[in-house]
Amino acid sequence: MPGKFAEQSLSSPSDRVTPNAKQKRKNTPGPSPSILRKNLRNGTYKAYLLAEGGYRLLAKPLVVNLGSPSDLALFTSSITTHNARRGDSFTANIGNLVNRAGDPNTRFSAPECDCWAKVDDDGIITGVPPADAHDTTIRVHVTNGKASAKLQVHIPVRKQRQPLVETLRVLSFNLWVGGQMVNNHHEKQVRFLAQSNIDIAGMQESGGGHGTRLARALGWYSWQGPTVSIITRYPIAEVLEAPNKSVAVRISLDGTANDIIFWNCHLGYDPYGPYDFCFDHMSFDQVMRREAQSGRTPEIMAIMASMQGSLANADDVPMFLTGDFNAPSHLDWIDATKDQHCGRGYTEWPTSKFPADSGLIDSYRVVHPSPVSKPGITWSPIYLENQGRKEPLDRIDFVYHKGRKLAVEDSTALVAGKPAPQPRHADNEWTSDHKAVLTVYRFIDSASGNCEAGSA
């Protein structure tokens, strides 16, 4: 469990952290280092000795085992991998889904599986699905000494010459300071991502390497920025230039046959528009000035300007924008919902108007067009009171898209379990103060004209 990561880093499922061979070993001044066990669950961790608080390794990571090997535990009981295809080589890494990953005594095997997929000791699955292969489920045994656990691994298998990816499950997920406000956050986050069968997640409040951490646990690819990150089952082909508060990548879903452009952002949070309207009773002009002061308006303008080329090409290469925008949508603040928004009717929030005017589609409103019956609130499942007043509840987390190859099948705001409101949140199964937004897309043949309303 690394303590620090570079502010920007690209990782893949096979990545291993190794020291710089040219770095001379140095003695560390002061007292001998110690491992602080507070709030650490039993398991295997890696401790990194870094140069002067930076990111250069001074020695190989130290593997630290806390507790007994009998505490062996999987973070999830089941997981679905990325898609395989008949005749194509397949590789997946499930070796980090256990609390004792990295312990040389932890072993993976699939003794009951007489199939094309083989599991090695480290949890690497390899093989080539034969011409008659179908979706494959493997029961994987994980052992450490006398302790054991079982993991069910499902591998979707596509036919030859069939597109590798026909549906895409896209998540926008504010981690809430990496999830560190909730006990056992790593295990809970991995379980949620695995059991929700996510393909790509744009994550906010994930600075300090939290995106890299989760991608490694799942055996995925990642691009880690200073405050936001993107994790994906499918390879990152290119990292794109992106302005402050955002990251962007090109993801290859099927070699070069099906690429997408994926953006993720986290806009400024203070001052907050609903507070200005509902608590301080400011005018529209005052609130709009403060939207700009918060950084949100110039930030979304910069993001839209940077993606103009991709927007123009979105019918050939579909594009997505996820994020915590820290502001509501003009699609939600309408005259019919003013009773939900302290008497305010239609309001043109810049952070939703600029994407809409650029041709981006709000996926949640494709499926749920009425903000009256389906407000889709994401802020907040746990902050319900604000200094004796009711917290303004709004939809401030979004999954946008553009491209005629995309149709929206479903979209929902979701949590895991039943979160207790703060300050009783520490043991929640849900590790965030936001709901996540999950949108399910289907790739369609744009030439057929089979396109859902609002999907272009």
In this prediction, residues 327-348 reach a mean pLDDT of: 98
Residues 183, 149 share a domain: no
- Is residue 356 a part of any domain in this protein? yes
Contact 129, 97 (CB under 8 A): no
Residues 330, 254 share a domain: yes
Quick one: pLDDT at residue 274?
A: 98
- Res 323 pLDDT > 50: yes
Read off the pLDDT band of 2 (50, 70, 90): very low
Percent of the chain at pLDDT exceeding 70: 84
- Is residue 25 a part of any domain in this protein? no
User: Which helix (H) or strand (E) covers residue 350, if one does?
Assistant: helix 350-357
- Is residue 149 a part of any domain in this protein? yes
Tokens of 94: 């499930």
pLDDT in tens, 146-160: 999 999 999 999 999
Contact residues for 100 (Cβ-Cβ < 8 A; gap 6+): 43, 44, 65, 69, 71, 72, 106, 144
Quick one: pLDDT at residue 318?
A: 98
Residues 399, 253 share a domain: yes
- Res 48 pLDDT > 50: yes
- Is residue 448 a part of any domain in this protein? no
Chosen domain end from 132, 158, 184 = 158
pLDDT in tens, 290-322: 999 999 999 999 999 999 999 999 999 999 999
Read off the pLDDT band of 447 (50, 70, 90): very low
Residue 139 is part of a domain; what is its CATH number?
2.60.40.10
Residues 362, 338 share a domain: yes
Beta strands in 243-348 (DSSP E): 246-252, 259-266, 319-324
pLDDT in tens, 192-219: 999 999 999 999 999 999 999 999 999 9
Distance in angstroms (rounded) separating the CA atoms of residues 229 and 202 = 6
Chosen domain end from 110, 127, 158 = 158
Chosen domain end from 125, 158, 191 = 158
Could you tell me the CA-to-CA distances from 327 to 11, 20, 28, 208, 238 in Å, in that order?
31, 44, 47, 24, 30
- Is residue 39 a part of any domain in this protein? yes
Residue 201 is part of a domain; what is its CATH number?
3.60.10.10
- Res 413 pLDDT > 50: yes
- Is residue 172 a part of any domain in this protein? yes
Quick one: pLDDT at residue 197?
A: 98
Residues 235, 96 share a domain: no
Q: How many domains does the chain have?
A: 3
Residues 240, 299 share a domain: yes
Read off the pLDDT band of 110 (50, 70, 90): very high
Residues 392, 295 share a domain: yes
Quick one: pLDDT at residue 111?
A: 94
Pairing relation of β-strands 78-80 and 147-155?
parallel
Residues 153, 172 share a domain: no
Q: Which amino acid does the sequence have at 188?
A: K
- Res 173 pLDDT > 90: yes
Read off the pLDDT band of 256 (50, 70, 90): confident
Contact 83, 165 (CB under 8 A): yes
50: containing domain: 1-15+34-67
Quick one: pLDDT at residue 9?
A: 72
Contact 398, 130 (CB under 8 A): no
Average pLDDT, the chain: 89
Quick one: pLDDT at residue 59?
A: 72
Quick one: pLDDT at residue 51?
A: 62
- Res 25 pLDDT > 50: no
Residues 213, 154 share a domain: no
Residues 295, 183 share a domain: yes
- Is residue 289 a part of any domain in this protein? yes
- Res 103 pLDDT > 70: yes
Provide the whole-model pTM. Answer: 0.88
Could you tell me the CA-to-CA distances from 205 to 19, 169, 230, 430, 438 in Å, in that order?
28, 21, 12, 15, 18
- Res 139 pLDDT > 50: yes
- Is residue 26 a part of any domain in this protein? no
Residues 278, 173 share a domain: yes
- Res 367 pLDDT > 50: yes
Residues 370, 424 share a domain: yes
Quick one: pLDDT at residue 307?
A: 98
